[in-house]
Every structure is written in structure tokens, then in C-alpha cells.
A and B are shown apart, each in its own frame.
Chain A
Amino acid sequence: MNHLVIAPLLLPLLAGTILLLLRSSDTPIRRGISILATLVLVGISLALLLHVAEHGVQVYQLGNWNAPFGIVLVADQLATIMVLITSVLAAGVVLYAVRGSDHSGRYFHILFQMQLFGLNGAFLTGDLFNLFVFFEVLLIASYGLLLHGGGRKRTRAGLHYVVLNLVGSTLFLFAVGTLYGVLGTLNMADLAQRMSAVPPEDLGVVRAAGLLLFGVFALKAALAPLHLWLPGAYGHTSAPVAAMFAIMTKVGAYSILRIHSLMFGPDAGPLAGLLDSWLLPLALLTVVAGTFGVLASRRLAEQAAYLVIVSAGTLLTAFGLGGAEAFAAGLYYLAHTTFAAAALFLMAGVLSNARGATEDRLTAGPALPKAQLLGGVFLVIALAVSGMPPFSGFIGKWLILQSSLDVPDMPWVLGVLLVTSLLGIMALARSGSRLFFKVDENAQAIGQTSVADLGAPIGLAIVGIGLVVYAGPVYQFAQVTADQLVQPGGYLSAVLQAAAVGGAQ
């Protein structure tokens, strides 16, 4: 067994525990530990990714118990790519947070590390109940982060977010219980193998459990009509937390992709393609609903939150199209949209500080100091988010559109994605002109801007530009990952044969 697989879990857990013990120490010490742990996590994630790309799927048996009975962590390419995206995003967010926004409460860095622990666990686990546990870990950390700093609107949005997710957790457990009751296992690879042999009288029950799971993940991924909680929660929390939450909807999308390709894939017999008839229409509906929100937003952070909904819809459109090409396009888009959305949230935070009392409302504000620099960064991020060339959003959307050409629903996909992209560009252009060109002479520029605050959004934008420069290798990697998803044989044999090898040791 390779212990590198469990390192992305242990490091944030350890860092979070140390931070908890040092909670009353000086701020620079806590910030230093948090930054150090996050940067080391980036290195570990990269090492794991390269290792898995070279040596194939890695399985880690906790307690050395064999796979269908013990709990396993499985690092396949999809899981490691998600872990790497998470850790790079976290590095950007923590570098922004230490500029001052972590000061509004005492436990920011502890909760932040625990959030990373939950996220990495959810990506790496190969067990359905374990996935539930890691969901709860990342959710309870996210409750704390969401409410961090306090305030009326934040509390109200937080209450809705917490209650909806508690209901979601209950439904998740009902689905897990049903699957265990019928199939007698919770290991995802083992579940996938038993899907094709479900007796006809149990098909309805398994189908209900599968759709219940889909509903729960759709709630996390903000798939319409379960997206209404997101704008309030993301739009009212602090900038670094909202930026970190850019990966949270992707956890839902990742889980949908995992059960869609593994448990209800082409080998699942009568249950194959259980989600096919739901995923694409709902994803396109999400894109449309999100775009209306983008057009109607009155604050930049709220607009960014609706853009997260649009991106979740676009991503699930790609996953709903099915096939290796669409999965690869979706994975490229996933990497792009996570960084772009996070950069936009951080930019909203910088602008909100700079504009003083006007905050990030899309109305005329005071004349900004360093307006050209701020405007330039905003322009780059907005172009990337809206999918304009030469930025990564354009390549992502182009790949998705290209993969939809052979599908019967092609007119719908092309129509919806192209029209909503245009509307998104219009909305962001309007926001930019209101933020930077309209100056209210009476407003006082009491806010402060420092170039260092811009470091994190610029850094994330540079990562996005890196996705363009290295689009070839990144897309090739995404294609290999997609091939693994379409043919889950490698994943299944790695998990279930590790049992035989591990038992012999």
C-alpha cells in the first residue's frame, strides 16, 4: 500500500488539530501554519497525481481489511485531479484570507483545514457510507465558515443552508440504507458489480435509492430546481469563504459523475443509464435559471453566486451528454470554472473593501484608487468566467459544444449554452461599467486598496491562463481520466483485487 494516498487527508486533519491546540497563540503563527500546511498539500496532491498517472489506480485499505468488507480509499485519476484542484484553490484562498479577512473570528484556519480534510476525503473514498461521513465533515466545517464573522443576512442565509443540508443528509442515509438492505454492500466498486445481478423484484427499490442519491447530490451541486439556497449562502458570506465554496458544488457534480459512470454505467444491466433522462434537461434548466439570476443581480458577489449556478449547470450538461469526449470536456471545464469563480469572488471582496460604504453593489461609487489595475484584473477574470477567447472558459465551453454535436439533443445544448453565454457577457460588461466608469462625486473613497490584496485573484487568474497555455497536456490527461470512467474495469479490478493481494501479505 502506498501511504501517499492517505496523506491529503492526514495533513489537513493534523494541521487543523495543531491549530486548535494553538488557538490562543499569536495570529502570525496560526497564519503561518495554515499557509504552510496548504502549500505542502499542493505538493502532495501533485505528487499523488503524477504517481497515479504513472502507476494506475492506487487503493489504500484502512486497517488492512479486504476491500468489500473494510473501508478503502481509492485514488484514481478523477479523484486525484479533484484533490489537486481543491488544494491549489485552497492555496489561493488562504493567501487572500491572511490579508485580514480571517480576523473577523478566531477559528477561521481551523475550520478551513477541516473543510479541506472533508473535501479530500469525499474525493478519495471508495465507500458510500464513508462518503456520507466525509460529506458531514465538510458540511459542518462549511457551516462554521459560512457564518464566520456574523451578521444578520449571513445568519438568515446560513439557517436555510444548514437546514436544507440536514434534510439532504437524512435522504442520503435513507438511500444508503436501502442500497445496503438490497445489495448487502456499501463499497462502491462492489455495488457496481452487483448492479447487473439485481433480481427483477428488487429493481424498483434500487432505482428509487439511486434516484434518491441523485437528488441529494443534485442539492449539493445546485442543480435546478434545488439551486435556490445557493445565491443567499454564497452571496452573503465573506469573500475567501465564497471562493473556497466554488469547489463545494463540484463535490456534488463529482459524486453524480461517480455514481453515474460507476454504479449506473453501461454494465449495470437493466439499471444502466438510470440518470440519463434526468441529468441533461435539468442541467440545461439550471443554466437558464442561473442566467436570469446573473442578469438580475444587484451586487457583484450575488452575481458571482449565480455564475456558480450557471457553471454547475454547464458542467452537468457535459456529464449528462455522456461518453468519453463529453466527460473529458467537462473535466477541463471543471478545473477552469473552479478557479475562475473563486477569482471573481475574491475580486468582489477586493472591490468591496476599496469602495467603502458602497461595497460591491452595482451602482455608482467613489472614484477608485488604482482603478486601472483593478479594472484590468476584473476584465481578465470576467472574460475568463464568461467564456471569451483567449481564456480558459472559451476552451472549456468549446470542448463541451463540440462533444454535443453527435447527440440528438444537440440543438438544445447549443442553443442554451450559446444564448446564455451571450447574456452572461452582457451582464458582466454592465457590472464592469457600473463599477469602474460611473463615479458618484459625492461618495468618499474611504476604502483602502493594496496591491497585495490583488495577489490571490491574480494568482488564480494566472492558473486559469496556465490552463490555456498547457491546454494540450491538460486535455490529454482529462481524456485518459474520461476513458477510465467510461470503462470502469480498471477501477473495479484495482479495488477488488487489492483484496486478494492485501490478504496474501
Chain B
Amino acid sequence: MEALIAIVIGVLTACGVYLSLRGRTFPMVLGLTMMSYAVNLFLFVMGRLTIGAPPIIREGASYADPLPQALVLTAIVISFGMTAFVVILALRARAELGNDHVDGEEYPR
């Protein structure tokens, strides 16, 4: 299970880095989103993977670490808001600069 999660996070991050280095705003936004998914998953599993245990400490019973769950909720909300902002900004840049290149100008191929 740990290996599978690690591979998933790695692949998501790699795709995110590749896409966010593209020259157009839309792939770049997708890349940023994928990176934020990767980091959310990463934060979540930092409390270790536990199955069937409640996030409450009780005598003798096993429990799941509740703190990463709280952290990941905060991180999801923030990254969601930031993604919405960057989408609007990209649309505005497309309207004002006349193209969707991140530098605002087309380069000759």
C-alpha cells in the first residue's frame, strides 16, 4: 500500500511539474492543480496509513493521526481558492494580452 501511494504521488508530481513548465496558461493551471493534489495526498499520508481506526485516542485501541486530516482540509481549501484565482487571472491575461502564452507574446517557431 505504501509503495502504491508513493508511486501515485510521484507520478502526479512529475505530471504536475511537466505541465506547469508548458508555455500556455491552460496546461500550466492543470499542472499547478496536479501538484496541489499530489501535496494534499502527501500531507494526508504523513500521519501514516491506518485502516479501520478512528481518529480518537482511546485506551488500548489503535487510532489514526487526526492532525494530517485537519492540515489536508486546510490545504485543500487554500489550493482550491488559489486555483480559482489563477484561472480567472489566466482568462484576464488572455483577454488583455490577446493570446494564452504565459509571457503574453507568441514566439516564432
Q: Which of A140, A176, A181, A186 contacts B81 (CB 8 A)?
A: A140
Q: Which residue of A lies closest to B29 (CB)?
A: A163
User: Do the beta carbons of B35 and A170 come within 8 Å of each other?
Assistant: yes
- Asked whether any CB of chain B lies closer than 8 Å to the CB of A129, the reply is yes
Partner of A155, one of B20, B28, B78, B96: B96
> Are the CB atoms of B82 and A155 closer together than 8 Å?
no
B70 to chain A, nearest CB (A): 9
Q: How many residues of B contact A (CB 8 A)?
A: 32
Interchain CB contact under 8 A, A180 and B68: yes
Q: How far is the CA of A136 from the CA of B82 in the complex (A)?
A: 9
A180 adjacent to B36 (CB under 8 Å): no
A51 contacts chain B at the CB level, 8 A cutoff: no
With A162-B86, A163-B28 known as contacts, the answer to whether A177 contacts B104 (CB < 8 A) is no
B35 surroundings in chain A (CB, below 8 A): 167, 170
B46 engages A177 (CB within 8 Å): yes
Q: Which residues of B contact A140 (CB under 8 A)?
A: 81-82, 85
Which secondary structure characterizes the binding site on chain A? helix
In the complex, the answer to whether A159 meets B89 with C-beta atoms within 8 Å is yes
**Interface 1/0s, chain A 161-199, versus B by CB < 8 A?**
011001101100110111011000010000000000000
* Number of A interface residues in the complex (CB < 8 A): 28
Q: Is the CB of B39 within 8 A of A177?
A: yes
Bound: A423/B71 CA distance, A: 48
Minimum distance in angstroms from B28 CB to a CB of chain A? 7
Separation of A169 and B81 alpha carbons in the complex (Å): 13
Determine whether A152 belongs to the interface, using a CB cutoff of 8 Å to chain B: yes
Residue on A nearest B68 in the bound complex, by CB: A180
Hey, which chain B residues are within 8 Å of A176, CB to CB? 43, 71
Q: Would you call B42 an interface residue if the criterion is a C-beta within 8 Å of the partner chain's C-beta atoms?
A: yes
Given contacts A129-B71, A174-B39, contact A180 B46 (CB under 8 A): yes
Q: B106 at the A/B interface (Cβ < 8 Å)? A: no
Contact with A along B34-49 (1 / 0, CB 8 A): 0110110011001100
C-alpha spacing A501/B56, complex, angstroms: 26
Q: Min CB distance, A66 to chain B, in Å?
A: 14
A181 to B41, CA, bound (A): 13
A143 partner, pick from B28, B32, B85, beta carbons under 8 A: B85
A163 touches B20 (CB 8 A): yes
B87 CB to nearest chain A CB (Å): 11
B39 adjacent to A163 (CB under 8 Å): no
Chain B interface, DSSP helix/strand/loop, else mixed: helix
A173 touches B96 (CB 8 A): no
Chain A residues with CB below 8 A from B15, complex form? none
Within 8 A of B (CB), among A281-332: none
Residue contact A166 to B68, C-beta cutoff 8 Å: no
Instruction: Decide if B104 touches A152 in the complex (CB within 8 Å).
Output: yes
B46 and A181 form a contact (CB under 8 A): yes
Interfacial chain B residues near A159, Cβ < 8 Å: 25, 89-90, 93, 102, 104
Task: Find out whether the CB atom of A163 lies under 8 angstroms from the CB atom of B86.
Answer: yes
**Binary B-proximity of A128-141 (CB < 8 A = 1, otherwise 0):** 01000100100010
Closest CB in chain B relative to A172 CB, distance in Å: 9
User: Does A438 count as interface, using CB distance less than 8 angstroms?
Assistant: no
Closest Cβ of chain A to B104, distance in Å, is: 4
A99 within 8 A of B: no
Chain A positions within 8 Å of B89 at CB level: 143, 147, 155, 158-159, 162
The docked-state distance in angstroms from the alpha carbon of A485 to that of B53 is 42
**What A residues does B97 contact at CB under 8 A?**
152, 155-156
* Interface membership of A207, Cβ < 8 A: no
Complex Cα gap A180–B39 (Å): 13
CB-CB under 8 A from B82, the residues of chain A are: 136, 140, 166, 169
- CB distance B102 to A160 under 8 Å? yes
Residue among B28, B71, B103 with the most chain A CB within 10 A? B71
Question: From residue A320, how far is it (CB to closest CB) to chain B in Å?
Answer: 29
Specify which of B36, B75, B85 lies most central, judged by the most chain A CB atoms within 10 Å of its CB: B75
A156/B93 in contact, CB under 8 A: yes
Measured CB to CB, the residues of A under 8 A from B are: 129, 133, 136, 140, 143, 147, 150-152, 155-156, 158-160, 162-163, 166-167, 169-170, 173-174, 176-178, 180-181, 186
Residues of B whose CB lies within 8 Å of any CB of A are 20, 25, 28, 32, 35-36, 38-39, 42-43, 46-47, 67-68, 71, 74-75, 78-79, 81-82, 85-86, 89-90, 92-93, 96-97, 102-104
Kindly list the 9 A-B residue pairs having the minimum CB-CB distance in the complex, ordered from nearest: A181-B46, A156-B104, A177-B43, A173-B39, A177-B46, A170-B35, A155-B96, A136-B78, A170-B39
